[in-house]
Structure 1
Amino acid sequence: MKWIARVILGVVCCFASESLAEEARPAVLPESHTAPALYLPPDLKALWEKAGGSVEDLKTELNPFYLSGDFDGDGRRDYVLWARREAWTGFVVVFANGKQTRLEQDERLRFPGTTDYWYVHARHLPVNPSPAEDEAKPVPKLKGDALLFIKSEASSSLVYWNGKRFVSYWQAD
């Protein structure tokens, strides 16, 4: 059986090398014709470029490097990207209307600084009371989809639009 496999492999290799002689090999495409390293949906690409961003600004160490959802509750698709802009690296929300905002941490917006995972928490899903938040703080009523930032074996935070800005509701610590 091994002998037959070696013969078949040898025959295939002979034909492959003959059919790909120098003159038969396809020409190398110039750099401008190669496939882009990142795929962005056309509407995201247009919104990102309109906001002054480029593909080179995107950070891809976190996969996926962008998420989509209706984060402000207007019924249109918004995006969140992990990007590097000037001297700043972080998450940028690009709304369907072309406006954008950075998710910069402050007293009302907290999430794990080194995020391992993130995903969209759909607005119709319940938000459970958090043992990490003050009991007096009510469970948020989502106007749009939310983002859940997770640091493995450490903490997680639900980030949502309250009608004016993004705020967070700590999920676990």
Structure 2
Amino acid sequence: MKKLWHITHSCGHKAERDLSDRAADRRAGFAEWLANRECTDCWRAARTTDEQDKAAWLEARRAEEQAESDAWSAQYRMPPLEGTVRAVAWGVRCRHQILADAYTGLVLEGETSEAQWEVIEETALSRLAAQHDEIQRLRNDPAPEDAGNVRPLASVSSKTAPFGSCS
């Protein structure tokens, strides 16, 4: 019974494979299947290249999204976010995506007019600016009389927060 098979892979490489671990009646079929595939080395090289291409594409896409979000934040005078570099980048993208989706859903696909959207937008911007200013004031001058009036961020509900949360 033949145990060693000489296989010419679809990539042109030749290999000798021990198929003794296969049932005797399935060895010829498996050898034919192997011949229709790339050799292990070529397969691995293609997978590595695919992963590198995917990682490069994802990195370029994230950089493009970040540039769009940063430009949008500057155009609409969004208050700056604070945190780690990674968290701020994520927050800026998240804020941009939420508001862009809200605009699309309410104005482009819904029944909200441009004038109504501008009122919503101005209200949201003024609330964000007021919250940002209050946080900065408390950080710079935490007066003892304000200590009882400050709510932790976790206590702000989605009804009082202008845009809810992004998860």
Normalized against structure 2, the TM-score is what?
0.24
Write 1 or 2 for the structure with the bigger share of helix: 2
Write 1 or 2 for the structure with the bigger share of strand: 1
Q: State which structure, 1 or 2, has the greater radius of gyration over its C-alpha atoms.
A: 2
